Structure 1
């Protein structure tokens, strides 16, 4: 008995030692690709000066309008995409718990009843010479355990952890995108409100001009052509007003959807009251790895694919399984709890795959291809992030100069309208010049309004592209 105990202990020690050594040899640890980050990812000369990133600032410090903050807060609580992302996290968390439980043995316990009778026409039946009926009762506990010799279970756990973290990053990405969408839609509504006022004012001016034109025609200064053109400008402005009001309603519906609500009017302030940061700090390109949720998710996908190659590789090696069962078994229920009804068995098996129609090799080759795809997607996501930062930075930095030039253009057109109208009143100019100056003046005023929105949207895009909004 003592000799058997020594053999069992020695075997267990050998198996555990082999498991540790083999696990280290087969399973590899993930390392971030060294060439993934390019410090020239941003197209700007500001890079060496920025050691911090504006993405680390809370969105409440970027978007200071209290009404906008209220909309964002409600959207984060009720947005359906955010809630779906949270459920994806719960699902991934459950899979991670399952992968951790893979180290534990399986245990089943239950009573069984078996009724059996033999055929009289078989060899065994001929020996007995009669049909026998057997009732068997048992209470059996079965135990099974797989040794993680090659790190397969560890790799599965790591892959599920990467999947969970990827879903967390996806949730963060949804939040960041939602905040950006709410802010952009809100600023666009303010811009349309501003343009609506401009057009309403323009309608009044053009209606007055139309009346002036009719009076000048009666005085013989202008022709019917000028009257018709003046009237057309009134209709043009009125149609623009209808278009603006339609856009406002549709944007309000969009924001209602983002907030997880039925369509309704959106409370808001004014375009003139908005205050945004004068400067954004970019930080270094490597900061995107820690701040941009989509970049983080792409790397977690790479980690997941990497660990799945470890799982696929471990399939080439033998599997050590230990199974056992014990319980009570009898043909008479009256003797079920007798000591003589006790039974037990244990089986340890080492199974090496030899022929399985190439499935293991195929799985391994597919896992290698998937890992390369995940790396390329990681690289593409990072390059896209750099492009978005560069694009938003360019728009944000040039808008002030653009608005200043457009303001000068507007003032010139307004002066042109006044001068042209005065010359027409004295019969010294064609009314077509007044019409052209009036149209150009309206377009310039609308362009300034759009430019202000473009700067605010660029600020939103720059903050989001740096990875801000989810913290």
Structure 2
């Protein structure tokens, strides 16, 4: 049962909430934010998406999974993102305590000497002009949240905290993608180096064959020199490949936040490409992409800062009080020395040199910028999904054609080398051209496979996978 003493309290509370609602607004996602058609050429309605799949299921390579796990445990950027969350959480905790009054304990001693002539007392009156005052007291202050200032501050701090949480998840998804892409690039370089070294060995043997043909007067000395130059053309690329391998290993170690060193890895031929590329619908970017969520929380923070700026135009009600003991003689400190005071103040800004208007204008401008960034982030997310999916499709299309090209060039090398031995009508330039074309096609085939592997990784990241 509500007593007559509680009725004024609830009435005051209802009035406060009503006044607050008149000044501040409740957050709702802007109707101008569009996710439709964010995926180019994808009009499906299937909401199954690979973004919700744990990253451990995306990769089949145990050594790669071990590197990713190490990176998630050690990466400095991810650790700093977690510390950003700690800082934002402390700010949120402070904002929640804003509803409570402050309380402080004070103790002071005042030694005071007054001028006798300045007191203007009649002659003959003896007064003390030198006094010592001893005080110990508690003081408190509390501001009523009439216009929603404290509520807006708390909601802004909450949005800021959620923004740092989304930022941490964005760092995590990017880290997984970076480690996987670097790993795939590393094993692709290994494969390029292997093929190049095998090609050099083959061309060294080919030089001996050409020399024998020269002795048999089937070719001339120019063919020998061309064969040697062809060998060096392949051999000279080996140092660059080794340098790229070393630099990629070092870059991968940086992602793992560990000193430079060798990376334990498998071969490119053993890698399996994930096939079930379910992308879902574009509206799911709002739930799955951490950077999209981060952009929305940034907008919510700006929205609440506008609410906060509006409250400064209205009066603030503050209650302050203090009480304790005060005496001129320390030995009488606990005898008839109690004092207290309670003050209620209502402050209405009238002229503040344009500070309140400037604060509101700035907050509204920041809110517009945050809204624009929110929408742009969705567009970028859709672009990345489209690019990754199309890159995968093009890599698949090239695979069969590239295989046929390599088979044809391998036969061309064999045929031209055999014709060179049995007929003088074949020019050695034909042999060189077919050999160079074969090596180039083999390197391109490795890059095609790398493109397919990395496209899956980029699609997974673009959809928001890696944190759920």
Shift of 1:453: 0.3
Secondary structure of the 2:99 match is: coil
Pick the aligned partner of 2:38 from 38, 41, 53.
41
Inter-partner Cα distance in structure 2 for 1:332 and 1:16: 46
Q: How many residues align?
A: 463
Inter-partner Cα distance in structure 1 for 2:365 and 2:279: 35
- Show the counterpart of 2:438: 441
Following superposition of structure 1 onto structure 2, how do residues 309-348 of structure 1 map, counting pairs within 5 Å? 309-338=306-335, 340-348=336-344
- Show the counterpart of 1:113: 109
- Show the counterpart of 1:170: 167
Secondary structure of the 2:109 match is: strand
1:20 partnered with 2:11? no
Pick the aligned partner of 1:397 from 393, 402, 406.
393
Inter-partner Cα distance in structure 2 for 1:126 and 1:180: 90
Following superposition of structure 1 onto structure 2, how do residues 318-467 of structure 1 map, counting pairs within 5 Å? 318-338=315-335, 340-425=336-421, 426-467=423-464
Secondary structure of the 2:265 match is: coil
Unaligned runs of 5+ in 2: none
Inter-partner Cα distance in structure 1 for 2:317 and 2:225: 94
Shift of 1:122: 2.5
1:57-84 Cα shifts (integer Å, max 9, x gaps): 0001101211111111111001000100
Q: Contact 1:119/1:131 (CA < 8 Å) preserved in 2?
A: no
Shift of 1:398: 2.3
Inter-partner Cα distance in structure 1 for 2:169 and 2:291: 8
Following superposition of structure 1 onto structure 2, how do residues 229-378 of structure 1 map, counting pairs within 5 Å? 229-338=226-335, 340-378=336-374
Shift of 1:223: 2.8
Q: Contact 2:147/2:311 (CA < 8 Å) preserved in 1?
A: yes
Secondary structure of the 1:286 match is: helix
Q: Contact 1:328/1:336 (CA < 8 Å) preserved in 2?
A: yes
Secondary structure of the 2:236 match is: helix
Inter-partner Cα distance in structure 2 for 1:242 and 1:15: 81
Inter-partner Cα distance in structure 2 for 1:124 and 1:15: 50
1:411-455 Cα shifts (integer Å, max 9, x gaps): 111111111112222212111111111111000000000000000
1:182-221 Cα shifts (integer Å, max 9, x gaps): 1111111111111111111100111111222222233333
**CA-atom RMSD in angstroms:** 1.9
Secondary structure of the 2:261 match is: coil
Secondary structure of the 1:140 match is: strand
Q: Contact 1:51/1:284 (CA < 8 Å) preserved in 2?
A: yes
Normalised by the length of structure 1, the TM-score is: 0.95
Normalised by the length of structure 2, the TM-score is: 0.95
Inter-partner Cα distance in structure 2 for 1:198 and 1:206: 12
Q: 1:282 and 1:9, CA in 2 relative to 1: closer, same or farther beyond 3 A?
A: closer
Secondary structure of the 1:451 match is: helix
